[in-house]
Chains A and B, each alone.
Chain A
Amino acid sequence: MLQKGTAKKVTIYVNEDTRHHLGPLYEAILNFLLHKGVAGASATRAMAGFGAHQVMHTAKIEVLAQHLPIRIEFIETAGRVEELLPTLYDMVGDGVLEVSDTEIVKAANQDLPAEPKTPHAEFRGKARMMRIYLGESDQWEGKPLYDALLQRLKAMDIAGATVYRGILGYGVKGHTHKSGALPFSRDLPIMISVVDTEEKLRQAIDAVEAMMQDGLIVLSDVDVIRLLHSRPESSHANG
């Protein structure tokens, strides 16, 4: 984020129809600036203007409208501008590139914290895995039990759960789960795997147990390597 004080303002004039590879040049410049983490840049379309070619570009005449000048402006620290200039210099094949000294009086940003944006953080460590075995036809309050369990786990803010459907099996009930003759009459085995910290899982086990009529819960120790999105509120993952 920009700080109060001296900075550089860069102004680039290009034509709207000047191309860079496959797209318009002004778009390519904006994308480049965004990619480089420039605090902000805007492109404005002029109403009329003329440049080095000494041709008046104006919106009044339709054929000339697409040749209108575009002005791209951004403000950055002197150091950053120094870094960006060589590439911009190469990109602007036809147009004007101008740098001037400026002073930032106020740079306010209310929504974002000052910390830099990172693509993800990594979490490695010991965790627990829970496998829940049940039947596909098991119900909970009129809906499939596996669905209800998944929603319950989600409500408890458990890190993640995956539901697998088996193709054959038998278990506590002793009868074989097999896909029936009719597609809607099947009662195949379902396994839900859940990974989270030991203490989070302890709460989850109680909740899961209370919802199940019969089945099996299997727990084991696992090592996890997990990528977390840089959400400021994801503090529970540090446990």
Chain B
Amino acid sequence: MRTAKQARLLRLHFSEGDRYQGKPLYEAIVDRAKTLGIAGATVFRGLEGYGETAEIHRKHLMRHDEPIVVTIVDSAENLERLIPEVEAMMDTGLIATSEVEAIRIERRGNPAGG
């Protein structure tokens, strides 16, 4: 097993219906993270949930309002660059970070293996 590096996990919780400059907020955040050179981001859609506004977020007939979670793993320094930008983009929601260890696997296109 290769050694795990100290990293931070950032989780952003908001609603699928949230938008930023005309496009879904989760897409805007993923694009921004990419621009800032953040290692990766993954968006998950929950089935149902509720948050700050005490409004149940779930699938409605015409509009999507399910809970969205964006998870991002990178170094503490990189996340410090990202968090203020994301904060400015989000209207209501939750930003949580936690201490993790990360093992990055990059083997494809490298015949020698890792």
With A166-B42, A166-B44, A209-B1 known as contacts, the answer to whether A219 contacts B105 (CB < 8 A) is no
Residue B63 lies at the interface, judged by CB distance under 8 Å to chain A? no
Roughly how many angstroms separate A73 CA and B44 CA in the complex, as a whole number?
Answer: 58
Contacts of A171 in B (CB 8 A): 39-42
Least CB separation from A203: chain B residue: B1
Interface of chain A residues 153 through 200 with chain B (CB within 8 A): 164-173, 176, 189, 191
Residue B12 lies at the interface, judged by CB distance under 8 Å to chain A? no
The one of A165, A191, A214 in contact with B105, judged by C-beta atoms closer than 8 angstroms, is A214
With A206-B1, A209-B105 known as contacts, the answer to whether A220 contacts B100 (CB < 8 A) is yes
A167 lies within 8 A of B40 (CB): no
Roughly how many angstroms separate A202 CA and B41 CA in the complex, as a whole number?
Answer: 25
Least CB separation from B106: chain A residue: A214
With A191-B44, A216-B40 known as contacts, the answer to whether A170 contacts B30 (CB < 8 A) is yes
Interchain nearest-CB distance for A33 vs B (Å) = 42
Contacts of B105 in A (CB 8 A): 172, 209, 212-217
Chain A interface mostly helix, strand, loop or mixed?
strand
Q: B86-114, CB under 8 A of A: which get 1 and which 0?
A: 00000000000011111111111000000
Instruction: State how many residues of chain A have any CB contact under 8 Å with chain B.
Output: 29
A205 lies within 8 A of B107 (CB): no
Give the bracket for the number of chain B residues in contact with chain A. Answer: 20 to 34
A218 lies within 8 A of B44 (CB): no
Residue B83 lies at the interface, judged by CB distance under 8 Å to chain A? no
Roughly how many angstroms separate A114 CA and B64 CA in the complex, as a whole number?
Answer: 55
B104 lies within 8 A of A216 (CB): yes
B4 lies within 8 A of A219 (CB): yes
With A209-B105, A212-B107, A217-B103 known as contacts, the answer to whether A170 contacts B44 (CB < 8 A) is no
Interchain nearest-CB distance for B38 vs A (Å) = 9
Residue A26 lies at the interface, judged by CB distance under 8 Å to chain B? no
Residue B76 lies at the interface, judged by CB distance under 8 Å to chain A? no
A209 lies within 8 A of B40 (CB): no
Contacts of B82 in A (CB 8 A): none
Roughly how many angstroms separate A171 CA and B72 CA in the complex, as a whole number?
Answer: 9
Q: B44-59, CB under 8 A of A: which get 1 and which 0?
A: 1100000000000000
Least CB separation from B27: chain A residue: A168
Roughly how many angstroms separate A235 CA and B106 CA in the complex, as a whole number?
Answer: 37
Q: B6-23, CB under 8 A of A: which get 1 and which 0?
A: 010100000000000000
Roughly how many angstroms separate A189 CA and B71 CA in the complex, as a whole number?
Answer: 11
A218 lies within 8 A of B42 (CB): no
* B residues lining the A interface (CB < 8 Å): 1-2, 4, 7, 9, 26-27, 30, 34, 39-45, 71, 73, 98-108
* A residues lining the B interface (CB < 8 Å): 131, 133, 164-173, 176, 189, 191, 202, 205-206, 209, 212-221
A/B interface sample: 16 pairs, CB < 8 A: A133-B42, A164-B44, A167-B26, A169-B42, A170-B40, A172-B105, A176-B34, A189-B43, A209-B105, A214-B105, A217-B105, A219-B4, A219-B101, A219-B103, A220-B99, A220-B100
Given known contacts A176-B34, A214-B107, A216-B102, what 16 new A-B pairs fall within 8 Å (CB)?
A168-B43, A169-B42, A171-B39, A191-B42, A191-B44, A205-B1, A206-B1, A209-B103, A209-B105, A213-B108, A216-B40, A216-B104, A217-B4, A218-B102, A219-B102, A220-B98
